[in-house]
Amino acid sequence: MLKDVTARLLTEWRSGWTFKKGSDISAVHWSVVKTFFKWAFSTDCVAGLDSLPDNSVACVVTSHPYNIGLKYGAHDDNRSDYPEWMRSVCVGIKRDNGHFFLQVGGIAKNPTISWLVLSMALAAGFVIQNQIVWAKSVTVGNESHGHFKPLNSDRFLNQTYEFIFHLTKTGKVPVDRLAVGVPFADKTNIARFDHEGDDRGVS
């Protein structure tokens, strides 16, 4: 049943159907979407990944538990098998030319969570294609952008960043680098490195 729904959703997606709110979404499409999301939000992630059609997921972005004892309703955030479990999640991501963005940060008392989880992804056959630092809060002069969790401590500093490891199976999966980002502030770099494409047409 679940495989049928996901396969149908993929067929719809590949035939050019785009998700739009409002009147142009038919009752059939809407029921497929509802069923899919109901399934996605209520299924254990390891079982869910296993039930997807092979090679169907081009991009995975995590916001997974860090095993720090948070209250997640049905889910246990105090697992004794956390490393092995994270490894089995990563093993479930099967597409050879897909992208896996593993977003993970440590906590002040346990800063090594990021490396532990990363090592499980590497053990599952991924390589680091890019490493991104998600700056949750940046301050330049007196102006801050973003937020971070306050902490009561006379020994720890605030955790203002997490990592986003861009993992692939080969390290060579193409990305559209110029689709995001900002123009070079120092235009002389563009001429110096002969990279006109990096200008993005914005001055």
Ligand X SMILES: C[S@@+](CC[C@H](N)C(=O)[O-])C[C@H]1O[C@@H](n2cnc3c(N)ncnc32)[C@H](O)[C@@H]1O
Query: Residue 34 to residues 9, 17, 23, 74, 91: CA-CA distances in angstroms?
Result: 11, 16, 16, 21, 27
Residues 48-67 contacting ligand X, CB under 6 A: 63-65
Looking at the Cβ atoms of 106 and 173, the one nearer to ligand X is 106
Q: How far is the CB of 187 from ligand X (least distance, A)?
A: 39
Q: How far is the CB of 89 from ligand X (least distance, A)?
A: 8
Q: Which long-range contacts (CB under 8 A, 24 or more apart) does 187-195 make?
A: none
Which residues, other chains included, contact 146 with Cβ-Cβ below 8 Å and sequence gap of 6+? 135, 136, 137, 138, 160
Looking at the Cβ atoms of 25 and 45, the one nearer to ligand X is 45
Looking at the Cβ atoms of 44 and 96, the one nearer to ligand X is 44
Tell me which of 30, 31, 44, 81 binds ligand X, using CB under 6 A.
Answer: 44
Instruction: Report residue 57 as tokens.
Output: 């997921």
Which residues, other chains included, contact 86 with Cβ-Cβ below 8 Å and sequence gap of 6+? 64, 116, 117, 120, 121
Tell me which of 45, 91, 107, 164 binds ligand X, using CB under 6 A.
Answer: 45
Looking at the Cβ atoms of 89 and 167, the one nearer to ligand X is 89
| CA 60/CA 43 separation, integer angstroms | 16
Query: Residue 110 to residues 68, 71, 86, 105, 137: CA-CA distances in angstroms?
Result: 9, 18, 17, 10, 20
91 touches 49 (CB < 8 A): no
Residues 140-199 contacting ligand X, CB under 6 A: none
Site string for ligand X, 69-108 (x = CB under 6 A): ---x--x---------------------------------
Q: How far is the CB of 109 from ligand X (least distance, A)?
A: 17
CB atoms near residue 120 (< 10 Å): 21
Q: How far is the CB of 134 from ligand X (least distance, A)?
A: 13
Looking at the Cβ atoms of 3 and 75, the one nearer to ligand X is 75
Question: How many residues at the interface with ligand X, by CB under 6 A?
Answer: 7
Q: How far is the CB of 154 from ligand X (least distance, A)?
A: 28
Per CB under 6 A, residues contacting ligand X are: 44-45, 63-65, 72, 75
